[in-house]
A and B are shown apart, each in its own frame.
Chain A
Amino acid sequence: MASVWLALGLRLLGIAAASALAGAIFGAVTGLACAALALAALLTTHTLQLARLQRWLKAPERRDIPDAWGAWGNVFVELYRMLRREHKAVTRVQGELEIFSQAAEASPDGLVILDADDRILWSNRVAEQHLGLRGEQDVGLLLTNLVRLPGLTDLIAKGSKGTTLLHRPGERKGMVYSIEVVRFGKDRKLLVSFDVTQIERAETMRRDFVANVSHELRTPLTVITGFIEHLVEDTGGREELARRQLLIMDDQAQRMLRLVDDLLTLSRLEGEVQSPREEEIDLAALVEDLRLEGLRLSNRRHAVLGMASPDRLRGSREELRSAFSNLVSNAVRYTPEGGSIRIHWTIRDGRGVFSVEDTGIGIAEEHIPRLTERFYRVDRGRSRDSGGTGLGLAIVKHVLLRHQATLEISSQAGLGSTFSAVFPAWRVLPPEPSSAVTQPQDSRLITKSAS
């Protein structure tokens, strides 16, 4: 800055000195004329440079930067440097952007970016294949207009992480894609589509396999158990040893049959896409049924108590009954003689809770998360002796899943366990006016438990 002023000062000083000299020699008029001429020349050069700069600014091209000496030269050099820095920065940013867009393009999952109004801003090629979009041509169109999957509008409007929607495009036969919507930035949405065809196919194959094998095994097993039963009953002229062996055979064959039946139940539950039947279940009656069933199983070795609030539950009676009875029979099986088992149906914070509490052997904490896995055994020897199939809790879990309920397990080794099925509030129905009679009956049960 200072140099510009200095140069101007020097120049003006030079002009003034030269004009004064000319004035002294040739007279004042000549001197002033010289000064005027010199100033005019100075102004012209500056205007000329300014014009060049202006011309260049209209079409800024780095190599066309004007060349000059003096102060203008400095200005142009600075301009040149600035442009070079900027160019470098732009190249770097462009390179980075390129990397990101290449990465997004290379992603094996389909990606679509939507703006606040759900219009397409950008999509990668995989998404175009998955969803039948047409790249640039579809930018700015509403995604839900092009992918008219029932339920997609809702997913985009209020989809949260983890909720997915299956898309089976008609134009790509047999392919299955899973669609998820993630929110980012301000009102932007990222739609991700995964190809789950293989997973789906493998899952179907596994399910079909289990179902088929169980089915195929069931028929011969029924024949075998039938004959063994006949042999056991027909004791005529057989030795004691042979009879005992037959009893063991009968026992094991029955176990196998139960196993196959449970496997069939499980694969049926898994394969069921239809939501469960919505019946109104009177839990008080069901609890009483389960209590009697528990007593029968226990053979009077335990005290079995039931207690139910009069509220009813919405769901499939058959499925829930089998799940609950699994919980009861587990409790009977793992509770030593003299222990007690309580079956409760209560309302907690509006949600329905069915729980089975026992004073049994309990479960160590590390086993609890894995209990609902198929064939998971806490203690290999013991549970097999007790006659379980190892599938009971898996069935319970599936039935509850189908009813949007969760299974809560709390247990202390040596003291007992509580298995609770917690149902969402909308599955709980207020008691029927006429069913108020069940209430006193329940209190009777409670008093019995107290005695």
Chain B
Amino acid sequence: MPHSEHLSKQFDSDLEDIRSRVLQMGGLVESQIRSAIECLSSGDYDLMAQVTDGDRQVNSYEVEIDDACAHVIARRQPAASDLRLIMAVSKIVTDLERTGDEAEKIARMARQIYDRGRLQIPRSADVRHAGELAVAMLRRVLDAMARLDAQEAERIIAADATIDGEFRGIVRQLVTYMMEDPRTISTALDIVWVAKAIERIGDHIKNVAEQVIYIVHGTDVRHTTREIVPESDGGN
């Protein structure tokens, strides 16, 4: 644990509560992305509506957690690792909320595609694969946050490149598709948006991973190359 015992037990439990709520929110976002990808391959309208509902829940998580952070800052004046945790959490929450928005966007695109009466989606297997990569990344980063595992967080930052690669691959293939048959252009464009959303999710998760490293080591690794990241010295 980055924070040691405080004189006030309540403070400890406040911090712990914030951390768990972030992880709960992450769990919800994870299931949102999974459902959104599922919408895309199944065309299940009810599931799409469910994703839209779920996003509202994600948003209220964000508001709640931000509020809790503000409360802790105002009442306890946290210092050192506690302050680091609070600051990182408020950034993580923003990234998670945007991830949730991207999931909703995917579900919306799915609706649009199926409304147009398309039963088969070009490159859907690739999109699905990229989506699963993103879900796995999110799960790993949340695990790393729960276990305060900075090394794992570093590996996740590196994994973002795979999703970027997938995205470029999908776009390249869709371009050939559109050139072959201009009638597919509108659907292909929607798919590009979906792939872009997944790529964005990867970026957000990368940001979360950076914040996890910040919580553990207190080192800001944003906008740096990987070599600068300190080797784990047992962290906590």
Q: Let me know if A153 is at the binding interface, CB within 8 A.
A: yes
| Beta-carbon nearest neighbor of A144 in chain B | B20
Given A142-B16, A171-B136: A148 touches B34 (CB 8 Å cut-off)? no
8 A Cβ contacts from A138-168 to B:
138, 141-142, 144-146, 148-150, 153
Closest CB-CB distance, A65 to chain B, in whole Å?
A: 42
Query: Is the pair B23, A170 in contact by a Cβ cutoff of 8 Å?
Result: no
Name the B residues within 8 Å of A134 (CB-CB): 147
Cα distance, A38 to B141, chains bound together (Å):
80
8 A Cβ contacts from B112-166 to A:
132, 135-136, 139, 142-143, 146-147
Of B24-32, B86-94, B103-111, B177-185, the one with at least 4 CB within 8 A of chain A = B24-32
Q: Let me know if B19 is at the binding interface, CB within 8 A.
A: yes
Q: Let me know if A198 is at the binding interface, CB within 8 A.
A: no
Given A148-B26, A150-B27, A150-B28: A141 touches B135 (CB 8 Å cut-off)? no
Name the A residues within 8 Å of B146 (CB-CB): 141-142, 145-146
Query: Is the pair A170, B147 in contact by a Cβ cutoff of 8 Å?
Result: no
| Beta-carbon nearest neighbor of B23 in chain A | A145
Given A144-B23, A145-B19, A145-B20: A274 touches B46 (CB 8 Å cut-off)? yes
What secondary structure prevails in chain A residues at the interface with B? loop
Cα distance, A148 to B27, chains bound together (Å):
5
Interface digits, B15-43 against A, CB 8 Å rule (1 contact, 0 not)?
Answer: 01001100110111011001000000000
Q: Let me know if A137 is at the binding interface, CB within 8 A.
A: yes
Name the B residues within 8 Å of A138 (CB-CB): 147
Query: Is the pair B16, A146 in contact by a Cβ cutoff of 8 Å?
Result: no
Name the A residues within 8 Å of B143 (CB-CB): 132, 146
Cα distance, A141 to B1, chains bound together (Å):
9
Given A171-B136, A274-B46: A137 touches B26 (CB 8 Å cut-off)? no
Query: Is the pair A170, B30 in contact by a Cβ cutoff of 8 Å?
Result: yes
Partner of B147, one of A137, A144, A149, A150: A137
Closest CB-CB distance, A167 to chain B, in whole Å?
A: 11
Name the A residues within 8 Å of B24 (CB-CB): 144, 148, 150, 153
Closest CB-CB distance, B104 to chain A, in whole Å?
A: 16
Query: Is the pair A170, B26 in contact by a Cβ cutoff of 8 Å?
Result: no
Closest CB-CB distance, B127 to chain A, in whole Å?
A: 17
Query: Is the pair B135, A148 in contact by a Cβ cutoff of 8 Å?
Result: no
Query: Is the pair A171, B27 in contact by a Cβ cutoff of 8 Å?
Result: no
Name the B residues within 8 Å of A148 (CB-CB): 23-24, 26-28, 30, 142
Query: Is the pair B136, A149 in contact by a Cβ cutoff of 8 Å?
Result: no
Query: Is the pair A170, B20 in contact by a Cβ cutoff of 8 Å?
Result: no
Choose among A137, A142, A148, A150 the residue with the greatest number of B CB atoms under 10 Å from its CB.
A148
8 A Cβ contacts from A103-154 to B:
132, 134, 137-138, 141-142, 144-146, 148-150, 153
Query: Is the pair B136, A170 in contact by a Cβ cutoff of 8 Å?
Result: yes
Interface digits, A167-181 against B, CB 8 Å rule (1 contact, 0 not)?
Answer: 000110000000000
Cα distance, A141 to B23, chains bound together (Å):
13
Cα distance, A446 to B40, chains bound together (Å):
55
Cα distance, A1 to B163, chains bound together (Å):
83
Query: Is the pair B46, A170 in contact by a Cβ cutoff of 8 Å?
Result: no
Cα distance, A134 to B146, chains bound together (Å):
12
Given A141-B147, A142-B20, A170-B34: A149 touches B27 (CB 8 Å cut-off)? yes
Name the B residues within 8 Å of A145 (CB-CB): 19-20, 23, 146
Cα distance, A144 to B23, chains bound together (Å):
8
Name the A residues within 8 Å of B30 (CB-CB): 148, 170
| Beta-carbon nearest neighbor of A153 in chain B | B24
Cα distance, A146 to B148, chains bound together (Å):
11
8 A Cβ contacts from B33-76 to A:
34, 46
Query: Is the pair A170, B135 in contact by a Cβ cutoff of 8 Å?
Result: yes
Closest CB-CB distance, B15 to chain A, in whole Å?
A: 12
Name the A residues within 8 Å of B34 (CB-CB): 170
Closest CB-CB distance, A143 to chain B, in whole Å?
A: 10
Name the A residues within 8 Å of B19 (CB-CB): 145
Cα distance, A370 to B114, chains bound together (Å):
44
| Beta-carbon nearest neighbor of A132 in chain B | B143
Interface digits, A423-436 against B, CB 8 Å rule (1 contact, 0 not)?
Answer: 00000000000000
Cα distance, A134 to B147, chains bound together (Å):
10
| Beta-carbon nearest neighbor of A138 in chain B | B147
Closest CB-CB distance, A347 to chain B, in whole Å?
A: 31
Query: Is the pair A170, B16 in contact by a Cβ cutoff of 8 Å?
Result: no
Cα distance, A20 to B30, chains bound together (Å):
98
Given A145-B23, A274-B46: A150 touches B31 (CB 8 Å cut-off)? yes
Cα distance, A395 to B26, chains bound together (Å):
39
Cα distance, A114 to B27, chains bound together (Å):
20
| Beta-carbon nearest neighbor of A152 in chain B | B27
Name the B residues within 8 Å of A171 (CB-CB): 136, 139
Closest CB-CB distance, B129 to chain A, in whole Å?
A: 12
Cα distance, A274 to B45, chains bound together (Å):
11
| Beta-carbon nearest neighbor of B143 in chain A | A146
Closest CB-CB distance, A96 to chain B, in whole Å?
A: 33
Closest CB-CB distance, A148 to chain B, in whole Å?
A: 3
Cα distance, A262 to B155, chains bound together (Å):
55
Closest CB-CB distance, B123 to chain A, in whole Å?
A: 21
Cα distance, A138 to B142, chains bound together (Å):
14
Choose among A144, A145, A146, A274 the residue with the greatest number of B CB atoms under 10 Å from its CB.
A145
Cα distance, A170 to B19, chains bound together (Å):
22
| Beta-carbon nearest neighbor of B31 in chain A | A150
Closest CB-CB distance, B140 to chain A, in whole Å?
A: 9
Name the A residues within 8 Å of B27 (CB-CB): 148-150
Cα distance, A141 to B34, chains bound together (Å):
26
Given A141-B146, A141-B147, A144-B23: A170 touches B139 (CB 8 Å cut-off)? yes
Cα distance, A141 to B144, chains bound together (Å):
12
Cα distance, A132 to B147, chains bound together (Å):
12
Closest CB-CB distance, B59 to chain A, in whole Å?
A: 15
For the complex with contacts A145-B146, A170-B30, 11 further pairs of A-B residues with Cβ separation under 8 Å are: A132-B143, A141-B146, A144-B20, A144-B23, A145-B19, A145-B23, A148-B24, A148-B28, A150-B27, A170-B136, A171-B136
6 CB-based A-B contacts, threshold 8 Å: A142-B146, A145-B23, A148-B27, A150-B31, A170-B132, A171-B136
9 nearest interchain CB pairs?
A148-B27, A145-B146, A145-B23, A274-B46, A146-B146, A150-B28, A148-B23, A145-B20, A170-B139
